[in-house]
Amino acid sequence: MTNFTNFADLASHIAAARENEDLTQTYEGAFIEHSEMAKLSIVDAPEALDMPDPEQVRAAVEMMTQTMFDVLRDTRMEPFATDLVWGFANSFHVVAKRIEGREDDAAKKLGELARAYDPSEIYATELEDTQLLCQTLQGCREAMECMRDHAAEMYRIETGKPFSPVRGSRVSTALNASMIDARDYLASRARERREQFAPEGPVVAFSGGQMWDDADLLWNGLDGIKARIPEMILATTAQAKGCDAVAHAWAASRGVKVIQFRLDRSQGNRAAFVRNDRILNLKPVEAVICEGSGIQQNLAQKLRQAGVPLHIVRLAHQRSAQRA
């Protein structure tokens, strides 16, 4: 039996035992030191700080998430493992967004300095410090997003459902599909980072009711569409259960970007119909509507009027309905 005196040694041992070449490359690509020096705030002096060892971090994330599922499995607390591991992934997401906010502030200041050139030594020092701050925060954000995506992928493997944060978008680079909030997508047209938050590609609209049993029926249909439209982006009505949840799980499995159109509560009773209009404004090239409520009927009618190729999937098409 191997004994360990600190967590780093334990993480290294696990990393060696569970070596995964793709994950290793992902972590190594995220945990990059853009400079020999690091600066984490505008008031801190630059320091010679290294990034954490990527293999130890990978093992730590894997051990933290997988252990929680394992120790609660086959016990009365097993149903809560999903919530706990979702919380782990969401914590990484929240911290990554906070770092991103600080990075954006530093980038804004850097832009202001670049536009107001001053030949003085004070200006040169401030410009250099601000650039180093941007680089340091960028590296920390990319590392945190890598950890979040790893935890999210483990969550998906265990639960069969993609991780989706409570607020905002989760833009991923390697491990799984991006879940993009529609508000971020629409606002990004006038912002930088367009490629991440406003992905270019043919949009396939999807919506369905919250009562659905036959996931294979939807997966097979979506696989057929992706075979014809490999670069497709899925735009959904963002419901947490039923057909939309099945579609989100499919997208995570296939690496397809998803734009989630949640209800805009400020629209009152018209919110669902306004959401339908916003999906239609993306000019989808194809659509899948599963039988649900009048909301789905309204969207199907608008898509048909716009001449969008439309697949209607009815409750009776499910295997359970056919057996009955």
Instruction: Show Cβ contacts of residue 85 under 8 Å, excluding neighbours closer than 6 positions.
Output: 65, 68, 69, 151, 154, 155, 158
Phi, psi of 317 (to 5 degrees): -75, -15
Query: Would you say residue 97 has pLDDT above 80?
Result: yes
Q: Which residue has the higher pLDDT, 295 or 197?
A: 295
Residues with Cβ within 8 Å of residue 84, at least 6 apart in sequence: 68, 72
The percent of residues in the chain predicted with pLDDT above 70, rounded, is: 81
6-32 pLDDT, tens digit each: 545 544 554 454 555 666 677 887 787
On the question of pLDDT at 103 being above 50, the answer is yes
**Does residue 187 surpass a pLDDT of 90?**
no
Distance between CA atoms of 170 and 172, rounded to whole angstroms?
6
Q: How many whole angstroms separate alpha carbon 190 and alpha carbon 209?
A: 33
Task: Give the range among 154-158, 160-164, 224-228, 300-304 with minimum mean pLDDT.
Answer: 160-164
pTM above 0.85, yes or no: no
The mean pLDDT of 235-260, rounded to a whole number, is: 87
- Count helices and strands (H / E) in the chain: 12, 6
Give the model's confidence band at 189: pLDDT under 50 very low, under 70 low, under 90 confident, else very high: very low
Which one is predicted more confidently, 37 or 182?
A: 37
The 3 state secondary structure assigned to 143-159 is HHHHHHHHHHHHHHHHH
| pLDDT exceeds 70 at position 169 | no
Phi, psi dihedral angles at 68 (to 5 degrees): -65, -40
Residue 313 pLDDT more than 60?
A: yes
Q: Which domains does the chain have, with CATH numbers?
A: 7-168 (no CATH), 182-323 (3.40.50.450)
What gap in Å lies between CA 265 and CA 288, rounded to an integer? Answer: 25
Q: Rounded CA gap, 315 and 324, in Å? A: 12
pLDDT of 288 over the 90 cut: yes
Tokens 């990319």 locate to 142
pLDDT digits (tens, 9 = 90+) for 198-232: 557 899 999 999 888 898 999 999 999 999 999 99
